[in-house]
Amino acid sequence: MNGYERRKKQKKADIKQAAFSLFQQQGFKDIKIEDIAKQAGVSQVTIYNHFGSKEALFREVVKDFTEQQYEFHKNLFNKDLSFQEKMKASILHKTKEVLNIHPEVIQEMMLNDEELRTYLAEFQSKYALPLIVGLIKEAQRNGEINPNLSEQSIMLYIQLFNNDMLISMITGENGKKLAADIFQMFFYGLSMPAENEG
Protein backbone atom coordinates (compact mmCIF):
# COMPACT_ATOMS: atom_id res chain seq x y z
CA MET A 1 0.00 0.00 0.00
CA ASN A 2 1.53 3.33 -1.08
CA GLY A 3 1.36 6.61 0.84
CA TYR A 4 -1.69 7.90 -1.03
CA GLU A 5 -3.70 4.73 -0.41
CA ARG A 6 -2.65 4.74 3.24
CA ARG A 7 -3.80 8.35 3.69
CA LYS A 8 -7.06 7.60 1.87
CA LYS A 9 -7.73 4.61 4.14
CA GLN A 10 -6.90 6.65 7.25
CA LYS A 11 -9.19 9.50 6.12
CA LYS A 12 -12.07 7.06 5.63
CA ALA A 13 -11.45 5.59 9.09
CA ASP A 14 -11.39 9.11 10.61
CA ILE A 15 -14.73 9.95 8.95
CA LYS A 16 -16.34 6.75 10.25
CA GLN A 17 -14.99 7.36 13.76
CA ALA A 18 -16.29 10.95 13.75
CA ALA A 19 -19.69 9.83 12.45
CA PHE A 20 -19.95 7.03 15.02
CA SER A 21 -19.15 9.45 17.85
CA LEU A 22 -21.78 11.98 16.66
CA PHE A 23 -24.45 9.32 16.03
CA GLN A 24 -23.84 7.91 19.52
CA GLN A 25 -24.23 11.28 21.19
CA GLN A 26 -26.95 12.97 19.14
CA GLY A 27 -28.83 10.32 17.18
CA PHE A 28 -29.25 10.14 13.42
CA LYS A 29 -31.72 12.76 12.17
CA ASP A 30 -30.10 15.90 13.57
CA ILE A 31 -26.58 15.07 12.36
CA LYS A 32 -25.58 16.71 9.08
CA ILE A 33 -22.72 15.86 6.75
CA GLU A 34 -21.15 19.23 7.62
CA ASP A 35 -21.12 18.21 11.33
CA ILE A 36 -19.29 14.98 10.49
CA ALA A 37 -16.87 16.80 8.18
CA LYS A 38 -16.00 19.31 10.91
CA GLN A 39 -15.51 16.56 13.50
CA ALA A 40 -13.31 14.51 11.12
CA GLY A 41 -11.34 17.51 9.85
CA VAL A 42 -12.25 16.90 6.19
CA SER A 43 -14.41 18.59 3.56
CA GLN A 44 -18.02 17.59 2.92
CA VAL A 45 -17.01 16.68 -0.63
CA THR A 46 -14.53 14.14 0.76
CA ILE A 47 -17.33 12.42 2.71
CA TYR A 48 -19.60 12.33 -0.35
CA ASN A 49 -16.73 10.94 -2.44
CA HIS A 50 -16.10 8.13 0.05
CA PHE A 51 -19.66 7.25 1.05
CA GLY A 52 -22.17 8.99 -1.22
CA SER A 53 -24.67 9.97 1.50
CA LYS A 54 -25.23 10.21 5.24
CA GLU A 55 -27.40 7.08 5.09
CA ALA A 56 -24.66 5.05 3.36
CA LEU A 57 -22.09 6.30 5.91
CA PHE A 58 -24.44 5.32 8.74
CA ARG A 59 -24.76 1.80 7.31
CA GLU A 60 -20.97 1.44 7.08
CA VAL A 61 -20.58 2.59 10.69
CA VAL A 62 -23.22 0.14 11.95
CA LYS A 63 -21.70 -2.72 9.94
CA ASP A 64 -18.27 -2.01 11.43
CA PHE A 65 -19.79 -1.87 14.92
CA THR A 66 -21.62 -5.18 14.33
CA GLU A 67 -18.43 -6.89 13.19
CA GLN A 68 -16.54 -5.53 16.21
CA GLN A 69 -19.21 -6.91 18.54
CA TYR A 70 -18.98 -10.29 16.82
CA GLU A 71 -15.18 -10.36 17.20
CA PHE A 72 -15.51 -9.42 20.89
CA HIS A 73 -17.89 -12.32 21.50
CA LYS A 74 -15.87 -14.78 19.42
CA ASN A 75 -12.80 -13.99 21.52
CA LEU A 76 -14.83 -14.09 24.76
CA PHE A 77 -16.39 -17.47 23.97
CA ASN A 78 -12.96 -18.92 23.14
CA LYS A 79 -11.59 -18.01 26.58
CA ASP A 80 -11.13 -20.62 29.28
CA LEU A 81 -14.15 -19.46 31.30
CA SER A 82 -17.32 -21.13 32.52
CA PHE A 83 -20.57 -20.71 30.59
CA GLN A 84 -21.88 -18.52 33.42
CA GLU A 85 -18.81 -16.26 33.28
CA LYS A 86 -19.07 -15.93 29.50
CA MET A 87 -22.78 -15.08 29.57
CA LYS A 88 -22.32 -12.56 32.38
CA ALA A 89 -19.47 -10.87 30.51
CA SER A 90 -21.57 -10.84 27.32
CA ILE A 91 -24.62 -9.25 28.98
CA LEU A 92 -22.49 -6.69 30.86
CA HIS A 93 -20.68 -5.78 27.63
CA LYS A 94 -23.95 -5.35 25.74
CA THR A 95 -25.38 -3.26 28.59
CA LYS A 96 -22.36 -0.95 28.44
CA GLU A 97 -22.55 -0.66 24.64
CA VAL A 98 -26.29 0.12 24.61
CA LEU A 99 -25.80 2.73 27.35
CA ASN A 100 -23.45 4.59 24.98
CA ILE A 101 -25.76 4.51 21.95
CA HIS A 102 -28.43 7.14 21.33
CA PRO A 103 -31.92 5.47 21.26
CA GLU A 104 -32.61 7.02 17.85
CA VAL A 105 -29.66 5.11 16.40
CA ILE A 106 -31.12 1.78 17.54
CA GLN A 107 -34.48 2.78 16.06
CA GLU A 108 -32.84 3.68 12.74
CA MET A 109 -30.97 0.36 12.71
CA MET A 110 -33.90 -1.87 13.63
CA LEU A 111 -36.94 -0.09 12.16
CA ASN A 112 -36.28 2.64 9.63
CA ASP A 113 -33.46 1.38 7.38
CA GLU A 114 -34.64 -1.70 5.50
CA GLU A 115 -31.27 -2.39 3.89
CA LEU A 116 -29.55 -2.29 7.26
CA ARG A 117 -32.25 -4.42 8.88
CA THR A 118 -31.73 -7.07 6.18
CA TYR A 119 -27.95 -6.97 6.68
CA LEU A 120 -28.28 -7.37 10.46
CA ALA A 121 -30.72 -10.29 10.10
CA GLU A 122 -28.38 -12.05 7.66
CA PHE A 123 -25.34 -11.37 9.85
CA GLN A 124 -27.11 -12.82 12.86
CA SER A 125 -28.16 -15.92 10.93
CA LYS A 126 -24.74 -16.51 9.35
CA TYR A 127 -22.39 -15.55 12.19
CA ALA A 128 -23.96 -14.66 15.55
CA LEU A 129 -26.37 -17.59 15.95
CA PRO A 130 -23.82 -20.30 15.02
CA LEU A 131 -21.42 -18.74 17.56
CA ILE A 132 -24.03 -18.97 20.33
CA VAL A 133 -25.08 -22.49 19.28
CA GLY A 134 -21.42 -23.56 19.58
CA LEU A 135 -21.26 -22.06 23.07
CA ILE A 136 -24.45 -23.90 24.10
CA LYS A 137 -23.22 -27.26 22.76
CA GLU A 138 -19.92 -26.87 24.60
CA ALA A 139 -21.74 -25.99 27.85
CA GLN A 140 -23.99 -29.04 27.45
CA ARG A 141 -20.96 -31.30 26.88
CA ASN A 142 -19.33 -29.84 30.00
CA GLY A 143 -22.46 -30.41 32.09
CA GLU A 144 -23.06 -26.67 32.65
CA ILE A 145 -26.41 -26.78 30.83
CA ASN A 146 -29.00 -29.55 31.00
CA PRO A 147 -28.16 -31.78 27.97
CA ASN A 148 -31.83 -32.74 27.59
CA LEU A 149 -32.85 -29.17 26.70
CA SER A 150 -33.16 -28.40 22.99
CA GLU A 151 -30.99 -25.75 21.33
CA GLN A 152 -34.15 -23.88 20.32
CA SER A 153 -35.45 -23.58 23.87
CA ILE A 154 -32.05 -22.46 25.21
CA MET A 155 -31.67 -19.89 22.40
CA LEU A 156 -35.12 -18.50 23.15
CA TYR A 157 -34.26 -18.29 26.84
CA ILE A 158 -31.01 -16.42 26.14
CA GLN A 159 -32.77 -14.02 23.76
CA LEU A 160 -35.44 -13.26 26.40
CA PHE A 161 -32.71 -12.07 28.76
CA ASN A 162 -30.53 -10.43 26.12
CA ASN A 163 -32.84 -8.17 24.11
CA ASP A 164 -32.49 -4.43 23.59
CA MET A 165 -35.63 -3.50 25.56
CA LEU A 166 -34.36 -5.31 28.64
CA ILE A 167 -30.86 -3.90 28.21
CA SER A 168 -32.27 -0.35 27.99
CA MET A 169 -34.12 -0.95 31.27
CA ILE A 170 -30.92 -2.15 32.94
CA THR A 171 -29.14 1.04 31.87
CA GLY A 172 -31.88 3.23 33.40
CA GLU A 173 -32.53 4.29 36.98
CA ASN A 174 -32.01 1.50 39.56
CA GLY A 175 -30.19 -0.35 36.76
CA LYS A 176 -27.57 -1.96 39.01
CA LYS A 177 -30.17 -3.69 41.22
CA LEU A 178 -32.20 -4.71 38.16
CA ALA A 179 -29.09 -6.13 36.47
CA ALA A 180 -28.25 -8.16 39.60
CA ASP A 181 -31.80 -9.53 39.71
CA ILE A 182 -31.70 -10.41 35.99
CA PHE A 183 -28.41 -12.29 36.42
CA GLN A 184 -29.90 -14.16 39.40
CA MET A 185 -32.99 -15.18 37.39
CA PHE A 186 -30.98 -16.02 34.28
CA PHE A 187 -28.74 -18.50 36.06
CA TYR A 188 -30.94 -19.77 38.90
CA GLY A 189 -34.55 -19.13 37.84
CA LEU A 190 -37.06 -17.91 40.43
CA SER A 191 -36.03 -20.35 43.16
CA MET A 192 -34.54 -19.19 46.44
CA PRO A 193 -30.71 -18.90 46.49
CA ALA A 194 -29.14 -21.85 48.31
CA GLU A 195 -27.98 -19.72 51.28
CA ASN A 196 -31.58 -18.56 51.90
CA GLU A 197 -33.18 -22.02 51.82
CA GLY A 198 -34.42 -23.33 55.16
pLDDT value of residue 158: 73
The CATH code for residues 59-196 is 1.10.357
Closest CA to 25 of 114, 106, 101: 101
Q: Any idea where the domains of the chain sit in the sequence?
A: 1-52, 59-196
* DSSP secondary structure of the chain: --HHHHHHHHHHHHHHHHHHHHHHHH-STT--HHHHHHHHTS-HHHHHHHHSSHHHHHHHHHHHHHHHHHHHHHHHHTSS--HHHHHHHHHHHHHHHHHTS-HHHHHIIIII-HHHHHHHHHHIIIIIHHHHHHHHHHHHHTTSS-TTS-HHHHHHHHHHHS-HHHHHHHTSTTHHHHHHHHHHHHHHTTSPPGGG--
CA 163 vs. chain centroid, Å, equals 10
Domain 1-52 top-level CATH class: mainly alpha
pLDDT value of residue 198: 43
Q: What is the pLDDT of residues 1-23, one digit of tens each?
A: 678 788 888 999 999 999 999 99
Q: What's the chain's length in residues?
A: 198
| R_g of the chain computed on alpha carbons | 20
pLDDT value of residue 162: 61
pLDDT value of residue 8: 84
| pLDDT tens, the chain, 198 aa long | 678 788 888 999 999 999 999 998 888 898 999 999 999 999 999 999 999 999 999 999 999 999 999 999 999 999 999 998 998 888 788 777 776 777 778 777 777 888 988 998 899 889 988 998 899 889 999 998 888 888 888 878 777 766 655 555 555 556 666 666 766 777 667 666 555 444
Q: Are 18 and 40 in contact (CB under 8 A)?
A: yes
